[in-house]
Amino acid sequence: MPLLDGESLIRAHLDTNPDGHHAALHDPEYAATVHRVRTVLDRLGHALAVEGVTDEDLAARVGARLVTDLLGTDEANARMAARAQAVKGLYEQGLVRMPMPADLLGSP
């Protein structure tokens, strides 16, 4: 049985970091990073248990530090801002239309 609950550590990090939560939902690269961190935490929890570490508090602190260190959001936010600016530029040039929610388009 692993010592770490990676899902809860990631969830706690995203709950206290709105930028990270936003990036996890809207930036595919950041979402992939969240998935990789979840996998690393799972493997770390198993490795700690196999090595005989029994201190759950220590394991949780190490896991939380990994989550905080690996899920920084600056790059993800910069990518989202760059993409939004690119789409805005295309819109202003008349090359793309702004998407409308389906309920505002009416039925065909």
- Residue 72 backbone class (left: φ over 0; alpha: ψ -120 to 50; beta: rest): beta
Question: How confident is the model at residue 2, as a pLDDT?
Answer: 64
Question: How confident is the model at residue 102, as a pLDDT?
Answer: 54
Question: How confident is the model at residue 103, as a pLDDT?
Answer: 54
Question: How confident is the model at residue 8, as a pLDDT?
Answer: 93
Structural domain contains residue 106: no
Structural domain contains residue 105: no
Structural domain contains residue 19: yes
The tokens describing 88, both together, are 């805005």
Query: How many residues appear in the chain?
Result: 108
Structural domain contains residue 104: no
Structural domain contains residue 102: no
User: How far does the chain reach from its first CA to its final CA, in angstroms?
Assistant: 55
The tokens describing 5, both together, are 């609950």
Structural domain contains residue 101: no
**What is the residue range of 81's domain?**
6-95
Which residues in the chain land under pLDDT 70?
1-2, 76-77, 98-108
Question: Whole-model pTM?
Answer: 0.68
Structural domain contains residue 107: no
The total domain count for the chain is 1
Structural domain contains residue 54: yes
